[in-house]
């Protein structure tokens, strides 16, 4: 039976519909005004444009790291590998030092970088667009790196990976 999107339940139904969108998983990082490293796990990452290369990620206005992303000049997007589920969980958990033991380094632009997983994009914040209870962070890609490997996937509120093919 098809669920109807009648007004009272539309938000809940939309959540369930959104959960049917399979995505990769990224950790997005920046530094706050005091130089503290901040970051969050994101499934809302998307490429936007190739010329110039633009990406977006949607950040919940209730996130503790909101202020840091609202003020910083740039951010980095780390596309996670299949074996980086722990890193995804760590950056989705509030409080504590998410970067402890991660071997993070600082980019030339002052953005914390985690070791390369599947891909890493260093971005200059091009625009912030308020959108409901989130803010869309649009970044212009300044540096990009990609490695071999398989992605960590997120679908219906759980982590997944591509099926093992012959020879993998
Ligand atoms: C797989 C996954 C994807 C997520 N995607 C997003 C996202 O795209 N945007 C967002 O604001 N929060 C997302 N979250 C939740 C944040 O990672 C989490 O609330 C984080 O702790 C927010 O940062 P804070 O600790 O600074 O509040 C996601 C969580 C998980 C587990």
User: The CATH number of the domain where 129 resides is what?
Assistant: 2.30.110.10
Measuring from atom 7 of ligand 1, which residue has the nearest CA? 42
What's the 66 CA to ligand 1 centre distance in angstroms? 11
> What residue ranges line ligand 1, CB within 6 angstroms?
25, 40-44, 58-60, 63-65, 88, 91-94, 154
Q: Contact at 8 Å (CB) between 81 and 150?
A: yes
To test ligand 1's pocket by mutation, which of 29, 57, 92, 99 has the most ligand atoms within 8 angstroms of CB?
A: 92
Strand order in the sheet with 158-160: 23-24, 153-155, 158-160
**For 102-131, how does the pLDDT look when each residue is reduced to its tens digit (9 = 90+)?**
999 999 999 999 999 999 999 999 999 999
Q: What is the number of structural domains in the chain?
A: 1
Residue 128, domain extent: 23-156
Query: CA-based angle 12:15:17, to the nearest 5?
Result: 110
pLDDT of 47 > 90? The answer is yes
User: Which pLDDT does position 91 carry in this prediction?
Assistant: 98
The answer to whether residue 167 sits within a structural domain is no
Give the C-alpha separation, 21 to 39, whole Å: 23
Q: Contact at 8 Å (CB) between 111 and 99?
A: no
Measuring from atom 15 of ligand 1, which residue has the nearest CA? 92
57 closest CA partner among 45, 41, 40: 45
Give the C-alpha separation, 60 to 13, whole Å: 19
pLDDT of 48 > 60? The answer is yes
pLDDT of 167 > 90? The answer is no
């Amino acid at each position: 039976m098809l669920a109807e999107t009648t007004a009272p339940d539309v938000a809940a139904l939309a959540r369930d519909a959104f959960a049917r969108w399979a995505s990769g998983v990224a950790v997005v990082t920046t530094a706050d005004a005091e130089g503290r490293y901040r970051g969050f796990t994101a499934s809302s990452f998307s490429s936007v444009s190739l010329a110039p290369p633009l990406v977006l990620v949607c950040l919940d206005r209730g996130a503790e790291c909101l202020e840091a992303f609202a003020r910083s000049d740039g951010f980095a997007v780390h596309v996670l590998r299949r074996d980086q589920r722990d890193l995804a969980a760590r950056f989705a958990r509030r409080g504590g030092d998410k970067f402890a033991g991660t071997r993070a380094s600082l980019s030339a632009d002052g953005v914390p970088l985690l070791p390369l997983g599947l891909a890493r994009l260093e971005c200059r914040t091009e625009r912030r667009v308020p959108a409901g209870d989130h803010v869309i962070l649009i970044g212009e890609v300044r540096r990009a790196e990609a490695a071999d490997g398989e992605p960590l996937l997120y679908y219906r509120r759980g982590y997944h990976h591509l099926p093992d093919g012959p020879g993998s």
